[in-house]
Amino acid sequence: MSKEDNVNKEVPPLLFDHFWRYDEVMDFISRLAAARPELVKLSKLGQSREGRDIPLLTITDNSTGAAEDKPAYLIHGNIHAAELSGTHAALYTARQLLVDPGAADLLKRIAFYIVPRLNPDGAEFIVTTSGRVRSRTDRTAREPNTLYQQDLNDDGLILTMRQLHPDGPFVVDAQDTRLLIRRRKEHQGSFYRLLPEGLIHDWDGSDNIRVEGRSLDWNRNWSYDWRPEPEQPGAGDFPFSEPEMRAMAEFIHSHPNLFAILGYHTGPGAVLRPPSTGSDTDLLESDWQVLQELAQIGAEATGLPIYPAIKYHAADKRDINLRGHFHNFGYHHLGLYVFEFELGILANSAGITTEELLAATKDEQREAIARRLMAWWDQQEQRDPVYVPWTPFSHPQLGRVEIGGLLRRHLAGRTLPDLERIAQGTYRFTLEHASRHPRITVEDVTVDRVASEIYRLRIRVANRGQFPTHISEKGKSLRRLRPLRVEIHLAHGAELLSCEGHRDLGHLAGLTDSRMLEWFIAVLKGGTQQVTSSLAEIRVFGGTGGNLSLVIPMPK
Ligand SMILES: [Zn+2]
């Protein structure tokens, strides 16, 4: 057994056996950082509203420079509370980067920032109760006649309450009595209304019961094209009004080295790309081509179909406009090629495709899918507890109800073994996407003595990465993607005879673009400050291509 194998053993395994509570996430990443301190730094993005640290992993080979000086790739997961799969997928990539020999070279050149659980409060509510929250529900301002979720029968879960009611819009499905289906005119007998398990605040006894308070969707809280509620449901009070999102915005804007961002979600499995409003014609033609090409790599690696975000909806709907959404923020504000992976829902694990799920727009179609899902679930040997039988309960306000039904926590994601397969694919995509990073190099360094005390220094500054330093064509015009700047710092006793001590080079295209720079330097002899070992130091500030510094030795 080699030494490397021994070291690898200390990296904790990532088990795809259950969704993790916050403490389990923190424990795992602490052990990752402890096992590979030369590659992983653990810090926090910020603090959640309820006071939890939002963990941030910085992964790079520190022996080749600090993360801030390298091109960087950001991954975030679990912005939506129930989308716990995103945490596991992000952590899968984090762990693979440490143990995959194929990633070692990449980690010398670039850094990864990984935020596996952007929404620790919402996720904790879902993991511990299986209740329902988009990103955050405002449960502090209690409104009258509003039901707030709560575990009433002490089984540790927030499930569904069904109650017989003459106006009830649901009936028990004759084909699968565990399910409730929409009431139709031919239905007779027992009609049910459904409510989440909980209590109604300040109830006036009427049937007009609201469910929960204001619901916030943080993927409508990004700054580009933000619109207020109710025009854009879930938008929040202003762009980045949510503290977790503000922490993300501050991180992004203080890291000009970012060249790509990937978000993990859990809807019907898909590779999502910009745009999130309007149409493909809002993207520059050449950028659209690169987005398509990269999305195709993601689709081949994962087996998931590609959708521009505007078309990720039920098949009978028009294109959608998602205001304040990640995709348009990433492309229009940052100039980056950004993607989201919708990792898939339980129905995908049951063999129901995303195309089928989006095409099921009628009640009968949706009911048929629910029956297929239950039939598949019945056949599983090792199965998650997806269904809890309906059990009578005496509700303090509503009287006789039954509590039970499907666990939303498990419906919202693939089975975990199935998720591992997808996470392997998203990791391969990330490596491919990341390997295109811009890469600033200094080449062809020569120092010639042109007169007794005068030297000519020449260097070539090049971008040998595939992406240009402005990443997308869109990025060319944005202030955020910083153009290159070169500075020369002379040793004591040396003096610049020509040009300025700094040069602004603008952006460099990918692979084949470089600039020759030349300085004439006088070295004063006989002064008290003798130039001995080094002549100068060259510093290159490369924006997305990395920063570097190079000491030019005094020629012999
Ligand atoms: Zn989502």
pLDDT, position 529 = 54
Give the distance (Å) from ligand 1 centre to CA of residue 126: 14
User: Following CA atoms 401, 407, 412, 415 in sequence, which dihedral angle do they give, to the nearest 10 degrees?
Assistant: -160
Tell me the pLDDT of the chain averaged across its residues: 95
Over residues 329-347, the pLDDT tens digits come to 999 999 999 999 999 999 9
Euclidean distance between CA atoms 407 and 540, whole angstroms = 54
Please indicate whether residue 158 or residue 384 has the higher confidence score (pLDDT).
158
The DSSP code sequence of 111-160 is EEEEES-S-HHHHHHHHHH----SSEE--SS--TTEEEE---SSSS---E
* Rounded Cα–Cα distance for residues 78 and 346 (Å): 17
CA 162–ligand 1 middle distance (angstroms): 27
Residues 232-253, mean pLDDT to the nearest whole number: 98
| Kind of pairing between the strands at 72-77 and 258-265 | parallel
Axis-axis angle for helices 416-434, 85-99 (nearest 10): 60
| CA of residue 215 to ligand 1 center, whole Å | 14
Q: What is the pLDDT of residue 514?
A: 97
Give the whole-number percent of the chain exceeding pLDDT 70.
97
Q: State residue 376's pLDDT score.
A: 97
The alpha carbon of 229 and the centre of ligand 1 are apart by a number of angstroms equal to: 19
How many angstroms separate the alpha carbon of residue 211 from the centre of ligand 1? 21
Give pLDDT, residue 8. Answer: 47
Ligand 1 centre to CA of 476 (Å) is 30
Query: Whole-model pTM?
Result: 0.95
pLDDT tens for each residue of 381-390: 888 889 999 9
What is the rounded average pLDDT of the residues 357-377? 96
pLDDT at 9: 52
**Distance (Å) from CA 534 to ligand 1 centroid:** 54
The pLDDT of residue 1 is 43
Q: How confident is the model at residue 524 (pLDDT cuts 50, 70, 90)?
A: confident
Distance 199 CA to ligand 1 centre (A): 28
Q: How far is the CA of 350 from the centre of ligand 1 (A)?
A: 20
- Mean pLDDT calculated for residue range 148-170: 97
Q: What residues have a C-beta under 5 A from ligand 1, the ion?
A: 80, 83, 265
Span from the CA of 191 to the centroid of ligand 1 (angstroms): 33
181 CA distance to ligand 1 centroid (A)? 26
Among 70-79, 161-170, 444-453, 461-470, which is the least confidently predicted range? 444-453
User: Which residue would you say has higher pLDDT here, 48 or 8?
Assistant: 48
